[in-house]
Amino acid sequence: MPTVIHQTNGESHAHPKSTVIDKLIKPSTLSEDSITSFTTRPLPNPPFDATGIDTAHLTDLLSLITSAVGTVISEYNAIGHRVPALSSTLPGPFDTPDQASPTFTKAIQVIEGACAQLCATVAGPGHTMINYEESACLQIVTSAKISDYLLDKPDGLHVSDLSLLSGLEADKLSRVLRRLATVHCYCEVKPNVFANNRLSMKLLSSDPVGSYVGHVTDECMKAGTYLADTLQDLEVGHSQSPDKAAFPRVLGCGVFDYYTKHKEHGDRFNKAMVGWGRVTGKTALVKAYPWSELPKDTLICDVGGGNGHRTLELVKASPQLMVVVQDLEATLWTKEYPEVVKEDRVAFVPLDFFNGVPVKDCDIYYLSHVLHDWPDAECIKILCNIRKAMKATSRILVHDYVLQHAVRTDMPGNQELAPEPLLPNYGAGKVRGYNLDLNMMAAFNGKERTLDDFINLGNRADLRFVRMCESGETGLVEFCLP
C-alpha cells in the first residue's frame, strides 16, 4: 500500500495512505446541538459597506439622463430631423462637435457621464475592468479594411466572403466582428453576416477618423502595453525625458524618428490629426475667440502647426487674418484653399522651436496640441523662445485639453463643473482628454494639463495668464507679456 511521509521534529514518519484519508473523511463527532448552534450563529460583518449609498443618487442620475435626452430630442426636432438609427450608414446632423450647439454638446456629455456612472454603481466591476479586446478588434478591422469591403452592401456580407476579400480566416473574423457588433460597431444582420452602421462607417480608409483609429490601435497601443514596465523601471520610471518614454522602449526610437523611418505610418499620422480635429471640433476654434474683432492683416504664427489644418479653418472664417505656419510644407493649403496661398495670406517658414525663435512681432502665437507632446522643461523652452519674438501687444494662445480634477474643488478661471451627482469633470462625458493624457505619457513623457499647470508653465516662462476660453472639448489658454 502506498504511504505518505510527513516530518515532525526532524524525524520522518510513514503512515499508510488509507489512514490519512480515513482521518480526513472521518464522520464528525459534533453533536446535533453543536451543529444547530453553529449554523444559526450570526455571520461576521461583511468586508464592505453594507449601508451602501442613498437611492437618491440613482434617481438623481436618472433625472439627469431623462432631462438630457429630452434636450437631444428637442435639438433634433428643431431642425426637423429624427434621431439617427444605429443601423444607418448616413451621417447625422450632429455627428461632429462643429455641427452641434453648445446645449446639445453639454447634453451628450451629461448622458455619457451619467450612464457610465449609473452602470459603474449598479453593475459588477468586471465589464469595465476587462476591456482591452475592443481596441485589438478595432485594429484588426481597420488594418484589414473591413468597412471598405462592406461599403454599399446594405444587406451585409457573409464572413466567408469577407474572408476572401481580406485574407483573414473566416471563423476568427466572425468573432472579431461579433465582439464589435456587441458594442454597436457593425451590425450582425444574420448569423455570420455583417453590415456597416453609423459607427463602423468612421473606420473607412478614406475617413481621417479611421486613420486616427489605426494610429491609436497600432503604435500607440504598443507603447501603452509597455507603460507599466516603463513606470516600474528603476532607471527610467522617474525620468521626464522623451527618450525614456514607453514608445522608444518598445519601438526602438522616438515618435518623430519612427514616422521618418516608416513613411506609411507617418502619412497615416498626418491624416489622423485631421481626423482628430473632426472628432474634437475643427471649427470650434473659430467660435472660441473673438477673431472677428481683430483688425485687418492681423498676423497669426501657427507654431508647430504641422500641415496647418487648424488655422486653415480659421482663415476660411476670418478673411482679415494672415497666417505663418512654422512647421511642414504647404500641401494641405494648396489642395484645399489655393486662393489663400496665391494671395500670400499664408506663408510656411521652417522652425525648430527648441533652438529657434519664431517670426518676430506677430499679433498672436498659436500652439495647437504642441505643448502636450512635451514635459514641462521642454514646454518652458518653447514658450521662452516665443516670448523673445513677441511685441508688447502680442498674445500666446495655447490650444490643448484643459483637464479638471475628479473631485470638487475651487477651480481657477471659468471652468464649469458638472451637475451633481456627476463627477465634476463630467466623468465619461469628457474621458477623451484623460485618455490622450496617458497616450502622451506613453509616447513622449508628455501630458495633458490642468489650468493650474498651464498657469504655472506661463509663470516659469515669464508670461502672464490672461484668460481661458472653451473650444469644444478643448480650451484656449491666453498669455501675454507681464
Active site residues: 372
| CA 235 to chain CA centroid, nearest Å | 28
Of 106, 213, 212, nearest in space to 472 by CA: 106
State the distance between the two ends of the chain, measured CA to CA, in whole angstroms. Answer: 93
Residue 224 in contact with residue 249, Cβ under 8 Å? Answer: no
Torsion of CA 232, 212, 436, 93, to 10 degrees: -150
Residue 448 in contact with residue 436, Cβ under 8 Å? Answer: yes
Looking at this protein, which amino acid is placed at residue 16? P
- 350 CB-contact burial (10 Å; exposed 0-12 / middle 13-18 / buried 19+): exposed
- 140: phi then psi, degrees, rounded to nearest 5: -65, -50
Measured distance CA(362)–CA(375) in Å, rounded: 26
Question: How many Cβ atoms sit within 10 Å of the Cβ of residue 251?
Answer: 19
Measured distance CA(236)–CA(77) in Å, rounded: 55
Residue 395, strand partner residues: 364, 480
